[in-house]
Amino acid sequence: MAVEFLATEMETAVRVVHLASSLCVKVQEKLRLPSSTNGHVKSKDDDSPVTVADWGVQAIVSWVLAQVFGGQNLSIVAEEDTESLSKAESLGLLGAVSSAVNEALSEASKYGLPKPDKPLGTTDILEAIGRCNSVGGPKGRHWVLDPVDGTLGFVRGDQYAVALALIENGKVLLGVLGCPNYPVKKECLSNGCNKPGAAGSVSKGCVMYAKRGSGQAWMQPLIPGGYPESATLLKASSVDDPVLATVCEPVERANSNHLFTAGLANSMGVRKKPMRVYSMVKYAAIACGDAEVFMKFAQSSYKEKIWDHAAGVVIVEEAGGVVTDAGGRNLDFSKGVYLEGLDRGIIACSGQVLHGKLIGAVYASWESSSL
Ligand SMILES: Nc1ncnc2c1ncn2[C@@H]1O[C@H](COP(=O)(O)OS(=O)(=O)O)[C@@H](OP(=O)(O)O)[C@H]1O
Ligand SMILES: [Mg+2]
Ligand SMILES: [Mg+2]
Ligand SMILES: [Mg+2]
């Protein structure tokens, strides 16, 4: 029998995202305790937050991929580095990362993944994080990782995602999104009713994944302490009337021009209020039919990074959706760390009809925008 294309890569990626998501759930719970906020969150040079979970997930994914595929020719493009974590003053933080990583890896066999013989030392952990310093490019295979996407949402007890993709010769072959706070009820996506401890909090958490060209995207529930037996097929929404469409976009005004996207939505006939959600959970919402449109129009000086989109794009496309830049072109993952040549913004829709209308709206309104 022929071995299924990318079977080991897909299997490993899905399992490690489950394991990494379990680390995030624990760290986010700790962050919500009033006594332990200090030391778990740091500010980067651009003032964006980074946490024990960002470094911890990067260490775990890097370590597992190296165990399964060999460290020699492994190329991983990922968001975090070891610069601030290896400073003498960060010893406490590094200790917290080490505890989180070793606690998670001690459960690795429950996820069908390799487990270290003894706990990883801080040198091993820094090495694993630091190994993810590839810059990608047009040739060869590159794993692309955003260990915690939407760190701001994570810190605020809200939505975030663990995002892992595999790119080969510039094309995204597979993508996995761990969405530990993804709610069963769509209304909870943007109103925080899934925040830990929120009254009446509902069941939540899933991992979504897809392989390029399969025509299928899948969702598994996130279950505590192990790997689930089942997966269900995802389907993007069949709604193609803008009046019925839900539009999602970044929470932070600094990350996307809310005024411009409101104008676009209005001009294409959207009536519902936008659903503002942190992270690649916006792609997840399109893939599983909870929203029809995702738009992100960052400032023109901002360059989008491949790890913020790779996994989400392939999952949406395989679920039946369409993702392009604002000029209607596919995103280019072949140019290294950045989505070079991106035309203005990112547009993901559940189908061709809405996508066509949105591209038309961009075309009509661009001239009058101040971007
Ligand atoms: N200035 C600016 N403009 C546009 N985008 C930026 C900007 N700064 C950061 N980022 C990236 O946005 C990622 C989070 O995107 P979101 O869509 O989740 O935004 S939001 O938090 O909901 O506002 C976020 O990902 P993480 O760092 O993984 O959280 C960043 O990569
Ligand atoms: Mg990100
Ligand atoms: Mg991140
Ligand atoms: Mg970040």
Q: Ligand 3 mean position to 180 CA, how many Å? A: 15
**Ranges 100-104, 259-263, 274-278, 361-365: which has the least confidence:** 361-365
Counting ligand 1 atoms within 8 A of each CB, the residue from 24, 48, 303, 306 with the most, and so the one to mutate, is: 48
Answer whether 370's CB lies under 8 Å from 339's CB: no
The answer to whether the beta carbons of residues 94 and 125 sit under 8 Å apart is: yes
User: Measured from the CA of 153, which atom of ligand 1 is nearest?
Assistant: 21
- Cβ of 278 below 6 Å from ligand 1: yes
pLDDT digits (tens, 9 = 90+) for 142-157: 999 999 999 999 999 9
pLDDT of 180 above 90 = yes
Residue 189 predicted with pLDDT over 90: no
Pocket test for ligand 1, best of 51, 77, 160, 255 (most atoms within 8 A of CB): 255
Q: Which domains does the chain have, with CATH numbers?
A: 7-233 (3.30.540.10), 242-368 (3.40.190.80)
Say yes or no: CB of residue 149 within 6 Å of ligand 1.
yes
202-216, 234-248, 324-338: segment of lowest average pLDDT: 202-216
Question: Would you say residue 240 has pLDDT above 90?
Answer: yes
Contacts of 33 (CB under 8 A, 6+ apart): none
b/e 91-117 (16+ beta carbons within 10 angstroms → b): eebbebbbebbbebbeebeebebeeee
Nearest-angstrom CA–CA distance, 285 and 140: 31
Arithmetic mean of pLDDT, 328-344? 98
**Tokens 């025509």 identify what position?**
215
- Going by DSSP bridges, is the β-strand pair 49-51/171-183 parallel, antiparallel, or unpaired? unpaired
Which residue, by CA, sits nearest to atom 4 of ligand 1?
255
Name the residue type at position 112.
G
Judged by its nearest atom, the ligand closest to the C-alpha of residue 152 is 1
138 vs 340: CA distance, rounded Å: 12
The tens digit of pLDDT for each residue in 13-55 reads 999 999 999 999 999 999 988 766 555 889 998 889 999 999 9
Residue 152's pLDDT is 97
Q: Take residue 298 and report the two structure tokens written for it.
A: 């960052």
Q: Which residues are catalytic?
A: 54, 151
The torsion defined by the Cα of 345, 346, 352 and 356, in degrees rounded to 10, comes to -10
Min mean pLDDT across 1-5, 91-95, 276-280, 337-341 is at 1-5
**Taking a C-beta distance cutoff of 8 angstroms, is the pair 132, 146 a contact?**
no
ipTM, 2 decimals? 0.98
Residue 338 Cβ contacting ligand 1 at under 6 Å? no
Note the pLDDT tens digit of each residue in 292-322: 999 999 999 999 999 999 999 999 999 999 9
